[in-house]
Structure 1
Amino acid sequence: MRNVRVYQDRDLLPPPRKEGRTAIYSDAHLTRLKLIISMLERGYAFAQIKEMIGAWESGRSLGEVLGLEEVVADRTWAVEKPRSVTLGELRRNFGSQITPSVVKRVIDLGILERRGRGFVTTSPLLYDAAVDMVALGIPLGETLTIAEDMLSKVGELGDDLAGLVKEHVVTRVATVEEAAPFYGDVMDRLRPLVFNALQAAAIRSAERLIPAVVGERMADVMAQTRVPEGSQEPSRG
C-alpha cells in the first residue's frame, strides 16, 4: 500500500472510490499499476511516466487509455518461472564458496531474491548455468564475473536495439486508435526476433570457442604423451 500511495502522490494513479472508510480499487487501477511497475522496472523515472501517461490521457476516453495500457502491461517477455532455492541447496551446489558476500553478489545480479529464510531464483536458467559451471570446476567467483559481464553486454545490446526501435518504428503512429494494435504487433514480433538473434550469436560463439579451447588442451596432452623420437613403440600383439 505504501507504493500505491507514492504513485497517487505523484499523480500517476487516480485515487480509489470510497465507500465509507473502505477504498475500492477497480480493474482500471490494477491495469494502471501494472503499467507503472513495468515502466519503473525498465528504468523510466516518475517524471517520464507521468509525462507519457498524461500524453496518452490528453483528450482520450478512459477506454482508449486502458486499451493502450493493456497492450504494454499485459505483454511480458518472461518465459522463466521463479523457483524456490533453500540455503541447503546452495551449500550442496556451491559448498564453502557460498559465503554471505557471495550471496549478496548473486542477489545484486538479480539471480536470487530473499524470501523468508530461503531464496527464490528469478532466473532458473542462469542459476542452473552457474551450478553447471561450478560442477565443471570453475570457481563461483569467476562464474559470477562472467555472468556480470554477460548481463552488462546484453543490456548494452538491448539499449542499442531499443534506440533503433524508437527511431525507426514507434514514431509511425500518432493516435491511440492506431497505437494499440500497432504496438501490440511490434512487441509480439520483437520477442522472437531478439531471442533468435541472441541465440544465433551464442551458438556461433560456442561452435567457435569451445572446440578451440578443448582442442588446444587435447593437443597439449597428446604432445606430452607422444613417444620420443628414436624410441621403439610398444608391440601391438
Structure 2
Amino acid sequence: MAEYRIEELARVSGSSVRNIRVYQDRGLLPPPFRQGRTAIYTDAHLARLRLVTNMLGRGYAFAQIAEMLAAWESGRSLADVLGMEEAMGTPWTTELPTPITVRQLRQMFGSQLTPANTRKALELGLLRRAGLGFVAPSPRLLEAGHELVKLGVPLGEALTLADEMQREVDHVASLLVGLIRRYVLDPKGDDWLPKGDEVPYYADVLRRLPPVVISALTAAVARSTARVLPDMVGDRLEALLRSSR
C-alpha cells in the first residue's frame, strides 16, 4: 500500500493541499494516519479524493456527497471500506508525475513552445503549473510529443492529436469498463456499490480490472498500427511507381 504526505497526495491526485484540507474539514476525506508528527495518506485516501473530486465535478454539493458516502459506509467495517477504496485507488500505471522546468521544455520543443501551445497543453492536462515551472502528469506522453516534434510534426498539431486521441481512448475505455459494470458490478440495476459480504469480491474485481483494460487497449493499438503503417508505405510506393513511369 502506497503512502503519501499531503503534498505528494495533492501532486498524484491533481488536487491541491488546500482542497485536501477543506475536504477533511467537511468530513469527506478521512484523517491521515500518524507516524510521529508526520501525517500519512494511503491509496484509500487517494481513491476517496478522486471520488469526491469527480462528484463535485458532476455538480453535487458537499452535504450531498457526505450523505451518500455515509450511506455507503453504514453497516460496513472500516476494513471493508478501506479495502474497497484501496482497490479503487490502485494506480493504473507505474508512471509518476514529473516536475519539469521551462528551460527543459524549451530544450525539448525550442521556438515551438509558444504561449498558445503552452496554454493548450495546460488545457489538455498534459502539463500542470507548479510554482515557476510545471509538472508533466504523464512523462511518456510528453516524450511521445517530443519525438513527434523531432520527426517534424508541428507541436500545435501534436497537441491537437493528443486531444483527439484522448477522446477516442476515453470512449473505448468507457466501453470496456461499461461491460464490467453491466455484467459484473451491477447486473441487477444502477446501484453498483457493494453490500455486506460482497465487498471483498468487488475489491478483487477492481484490482483485476486495470491490467485487463490496459492489455486490451494495447493489443488493439498494436493491431491497428500493424494495419495502418503498411497501407501508408504502400501508398507511398505506389505514388513513386507512378511518378517513375
Give TM-score, length-normalised by structure 2. Answer: 0.74
TM-fit CA distance, 1:93: 2.2
Residue aligning to 2:11: none
1:65 maps onto 2:81 in alignment: yes
Name the CA shift for 1:191/1:115 in 2 (closer, same or farther; >3 Å): same
AA aligned opposite 1:128: E
SS at match of 1:84: strand
Name the CA shift for 1:175/1:100 in 2 (closer, same or farther; >3 Å): same
Give unpaired runs (5+ residues) of structure 2: 1-16, 188-192
1:106 maps onto 2:106 in alignment: no
Residue aligning to 1:44: 55
Residue aligning to 1:35: 47
Name the CA shift for 1:165/1:94 in 2 (closer, same or farther; >3 Å): same
Using the aligned pairs only, state the percent identity. 42
1:93 maps onto 2:91 in alignment: no
SS at match of 1:169: helix
CA separation in 1, counterparts of 2:212 and 2:162? Answer: 23
Residue aligning to 1:216: 235
Residue aligning to 2:91: 76
CA separation in 1, counterparts of 2:30 and 2:109? Answer: 48
TM-fit CA distance, 1:112: 1.5
Structure 1 range deviating more: 214-223 or 94-103? 214-223
TM-fit CA distance, 1:121: 1.3
Give unpaired runs (5+ residues) of structure 1: 17-23, 229-237
Residue aligning to 1:131: 146
Q: Which has the larger radius of gyration?
A: 1
AA aligned opposite 2:203: G
CA separation in 2, counterparts of 1:217 and 1:123? Answer: 34
Residue aligning to 1:168: 183
TM-fit CA distance, 1:55: 2.5
Name the CA shift for 1:65/1:202 in 2 (closer, same or farther; >3 Å): closer
Residue aligning to 1:177: 197
Native 8 Å contact 1:90 1:98 kept in 2: yes
The partner residue of 1:157 within 168, 172, 178 is: 172
Name the count of aligned residue pairs.
216
Task: Indicate the RMSD between aligned Cα atoms, in angstroms.
Answer: 3.0
1:146 maps onto 2:161 in alignment: yes
Deviations 1:78-97 (A, max 9, x none): 22122232222222222221
Name the CA shift for 1:30/1:137 in 2 (closer, same or farther; >3 Å): closer
Residue aligning to 1:195: 214
TM-fit CA distance, 1:99: 0.6
AA aligned opposite 1:169: V
